[in-house]
Amino acid sequence: MIDFIVLGQPVPKGRPKFARRGKNVVAYTPAKTVAYETLVQRAAGAAMAGREPTVRPVRLVVSLALQVPASWSKKRQAMAIAGAIRATKKPDADNVLKGLKDGCNGIVWRDDAQVVSIELSKAYGAMPHAAVSIQELDGEAA
């Protein structure tokens, strides 16, 4: 079992951007996405403590704690942190999950296709972060 926390507001995986370079068109990943995936890689690498990436199927449990909007009243902020107000605004949890999975490639597992079970939740929290738990499962990879 591997557990780690990525501190800071969870960032959704951005769509590729395109730029013209002379006669060619090049695709690139947005800087915000690259920065977040780097945070994920560092946290995952520290949790792995030098172990090799698994080749087995894995179960992934992710809990996202989003920053409460500063524009909300103190009462509304307290309600959000207590769970009385659900985090139904952006970022989309599945888009954040994509960035987390891509950040773990080559560190925790060889490829994110090895993730066969996912539990994902999103809520407001006093300190924004993504808590990640990965468990190897019995059975062989295809």
Task: Report the DSSP pairing between strands 129-136 and 58-67.
Answer: antiparallel
Please tell me the predicted confidence (pLDDT) of residue 142: 80
DSSP secondary structure code for residue 80 in this structure: H
Please tell me the predicted confidence (pLDDT) of residue 140: 84
C-alpha 53/C-alpha 38 separation (Å) is 17
C-alpha 134/C-alpha 57 separation (Å) is 10
Is the bond preceding 91 in cis, omega lying within 30 degrees of 0?
yes
Please tell me the predicted confidence (pLDDT) of residue 141: 80
Please tell me the predicted confidence (pLDDT) of residue 62: 98
C-alpha 44/C-alpha 105 separation (Å) is 10
List the pLDDT tens digit at each of the 142 positions of the chain.
899 999 999 999 998 899 998 999 999 889 999 999 999 999 999 999 999 999 999 999 999 999 999 999 999 999 999 999 999 999 999 999 999 999 999 999 999 999 999 999 999 999 999 999 999 999 888 8
The pTM of this model reads 0.90
DSSP 12-67: PPPPPEEEEETTEEEEE--HHHHHHHHHHHHHHHHHHTTPPPB-S-EEEEEEEEEE
Residue 28, beta-bridge partner list: 17
Do 9 and 128 touch, CB atoms closer than 8 A?
yes
